[in-house]
Structure 1
Amino acid sequence: MALWDRFKESAATMQTQLTAKKNDLKSGAFRDASMAMCALVAAADGSVDPSERQRVASLITANDVLQNFPAADLQSRFDDNVGKLQADFAFGKVGVLQEIAKAKKKPAEARAVIQIGIVIGGADGDFDKSEQAVVREACYALGLPPHEFDL
């Protein structure tokens, strides 16, 4: 099986796992960490063009698990994080990773944040090296081993 086929299968499995845990993923820390993760993946290459921003925003509103939260609130948090990353990627990334780390206290939420990052990263058909790298960094921020997610 090709690497990409394995990844697509893995992303589909992760989305199924996330949906199964939907009722457990309602905390503010999970919400904030998820939006920070989405912004980090969107800006992984150092920039976010308007079409990419719109695509990720659409994925956020369509994600079953994130429907636990008001769409406007999610959009606002995503936009704030993207703004930090666009203003100064290196400095913004530190703040965004701190947001992600808020989910560290609850292992199920921490894993779900990583799974969301992988699902968002692979949604365009290409989970590229820069996206994998920022998700790997998020694993470290959450105290999770990247190999658990094939990173």
Structure 2
Amino acid sequence: MALWDRLKESATTMQGQLVAKKNELKSGAFRDASMAMCALVAAADGSVDASERQRVASLIATNEVLQNFPADDLHARFTDYCQKLAVDFDFGKVSLMQTIGKVAKKPTEARAVVQIGIVIGGADGDFDKDEQAVVREACYALGIAPAEFDL
């Protein structure tokens, strides 16, 4: 099986797992951690380019699990997190990793945040090394072994 096919299959599987847990994923901390993850994936290469930002924003709007939250609220948080990364990437990244770390004590939410990062990163068919690295760092912030997600 080609890498592209495995990636699509993995993202589809993870999205299915997220949907199955949708009713458990309603906390504000999960919402914030998810948007922080999305912003980090969008800016994984060190910059937040407008097309990448728009692509991720549209994926957020159509993600079934994230429909637990008002779309305008998600968009505002995602935009705010992207802005933090644009102003000072390194400092913004530390702040966003702290936001992600707030769900570490809730294993279902923590794993769901990682899965969202993988789904968003792989949605274009290219879960590149920068995106993988940022999701791997989030795993460490959450106390999850990256190997659990083949990272």
- Output the CA distance in 2 between the equivalents of 1:29 and 1:139: 16
* Residue 3 of structure 2 corresponds to residue 3 of structure 1: yes
Q: Give the equivalent residue in structure 2 for 1:82.
A: 82
* Residue 36 of structure 2 corresponds to residue 36 of structure 1: yes
Q: Give the equivalent residue in structure 1 for 2:15.
A: 15
* Residue 151 of structure 2 corresponds to residue 138 of structure 1: no
Structure 2: gaps (5+ residues): none
Structure 1: gaps (5+ residues): none
Does the 8 A contact of 2:100 with 2:138 survive in 1?
A: yes
Moved over 3 A (4+): none
- Output the CA distance in 1 between the equivalents of 2:143 and 2:19: 23
The equivalences for 1:54-69 within 5 A come to 54-69=54-69
Identity within the alignment, %: 79
Say which SS state the counterpart of residue 105 (structure 1) adopts: coil
Say which SS state the counterpart of residue 8 (structure 1) adopts: helix
Task: Work out the number of aligned pairs and report it.
Answer: 151
Q: Which moved more, 1:1-10 or 1:101-110?
A: 1-10
C-alpha RMSD of the superposition? 0.7
Letter in 2 for 1:100: I
Cα shift at 1:124: 1.1
Deviations 1:123-149 (A, max 9, x none): 111100000000000000000000000
Q: Give the equivalent residue in structure 2 for 1:117.
A: 117
Deviations 1:77-103 (A, max 9, x none): 101110111111111100000010011
Q: Structure 1-normalised TM-score?
A: 0.98
Cα shift at 1:4: 2.7
Q: Give the equivalent residue in structure 1 for 2:103.
A: 103
* Residue 123 of structure 2 corresponds to residue 148 of structure 1: no
Deviations 1:53-78 (A, max 9, x none): 11111000100000000001100110
- Output the CA distance in 1 between the equivalents of 2:4 and 2:97: 27
